[in-house]
Amino acid sequence: MKRRILITIIAVGMIATLTACAKGPCKAGHTWVEATCTEPKTCSVCGATEGEALGHDWSVNTPNFQQAKTCSRCNETQGDPLEAEFAKKGLAVETEWDKEFTFTTPCYNDKSKTTNGKYRFSNLRIAASDDALGLETAQGYEWLIFDLICRYDDENVSKYGYTGVFNAGMDYYDTYRNPDLGTMFEPGKTDLETVDRFTVNYNGEDYPECIFLWGEYTDEWNVEGTTCISQHTIYIRIPTGYDGIIVSMIANGSDVIDKINAGEMPIDCLDDKCVNFRVVPE
Ligand SMILES: [Zn+2]
Ligand SMILES: [Zn+2]
């Protein structure tokens, strides 16, 4: 009897061992998950590893204005993107479409008087190509077309008129590369193939086919001569999604204009009376 019990116990013990063997989670092979930047090749079942983590692939090794140093595999970033020149200078920037702001300029007939224009940037149109301009859009670019509209309706404008503003186009990010943008443009009269191009860097890539055009300007007085509405259309060809074009407004008669005319970089002259509108596609 005693012998029989012993045999049974051994048999049970053997079965137990065999069962543990069959249930070994990776007996038929590990379930490998490929190595990543930070983890080696790893079994998702038992956690076994093989080899080493790949390490990050810093394809954007030099940060640009939009991107910090970035791993091309996992998109981890290090540090910050380059700081825009306008931000470095601490210059205030408007971005809101249709926001009205008052801008004071001298009157036309009596420069000692001023008039307050109510300005707004408005009517943004985005065009992947623009047949009206007679120019095929280059691959990777789009046209932004918008209006700078102003209403003058105070007492001084009806008595003395207005002198309007001086506009300057600049690149928000890399202003010293593109200090003063803009070509006067008359649809149908200006040969777009020959207008000046400028280059912006977007996501680390240079786009040399950018165009900035000061287009049609109109101003209309009401019959009584008390209110004038002016409208200036601006055309910009830039990389799709680029948000770095600035249109600055400088009061006529301001010494900012004298400095620019004397050869100073516009960004170095702008004062806190200037309005800098940053064209951000909605
Ligand atoms: Zn495993
Ligand atoms: Zn990585």
In tens digits, the chain (282 residues) has pLDDT values of 455 554 444 444 444 443 333 346 888 899 999 999 999 999 999 999 999 999 999 877 789 999 999 898 998 999 999 999 999 999 999 999 999 999 999 999 999 999 999 999 999 998 876 665 666 667 899 889 999 999 999 999 999 999 988 999 999 999 999 888 988 887 667 777 788 899 999 999 999 999 999 988 999 999 998 999 999 999 999 999 999 999 999 988 889 999 999 999 999 999 989 999 999 987
Q: What is the pLDDT of residue 131?
A: 61
Rounded distance from Cα 191 to ligand 2 centre (Å) = 48
Q: What is the pLDDT of residue 134?
A: 64
Q: What is the pLDDT of residue 135?
A: 64
Q: What is the pLDDT of residue 21?
A: 39
Q: What is the pLDDT of residue 191?
A: 77
| Ligand index nearest the alpha carbon of residue 45 | 1
| Ligand index nearest the alpha carbon of residue 53 | 2
Q: Residue 255: which residues within 8 A CB-CB, separation 6 or more? A: none
Rounded distance from Cα 50 to ligand 2 centre (Å) = 18
| Ligand index nearest the alpha carbon of residue 60 | 2
CA torsion sign for 91, 92, 98, 101 is negative
Rounded distance from Cα 58 to ligand 2 centre (Å) = 7
Cα separation, 203 vs 191, in Å, equals 30
Q: What is the pLDDT of residue 185?
A: 81
Q: What is the pLDDT of residue 173?
A: 96
Q: What is the pLDDT of residue 4?
A: 54
Q: What is the pLDDT of residue 136?
A: 65
Rounded distance from Cα 203 to ligand 2 centre (Å) = 18
Q: What is the pLDDT of residue 101?
A: 92
Rounded distance from Cα 25 to ligand 1 centre (Å) = 7
Rounded distance from Cα 77 to ligand 2 centre (Å) = 8
3 state SS of 256 = helix
Q: What is the pLDDT of residue 6?
A: 47
Single out the residue of 76, 70, 101 nearest to residue 165, CA to CA: 101
| Ligand index nearest the alpha carbon of residue 27 | 1
| Ligand index nearest the alpha carbon of residue 26 | 1
Number of H helices, E strands in the chain: 5, 16
Q: Residue 231: which residues within 8 A CB-CB, separation 6 or more? A: 147, 148, 149, 150, 216, 217, 218, 219
Q: What is the pLDDT of residue 179?
A: 87
Structural domain spans, the chain = 28-82, 85-278
Rounded distance from Cα 51 to ligand 1 centre (Å) = 14
Q: What is the pLDDT of residue 59?
A: 79
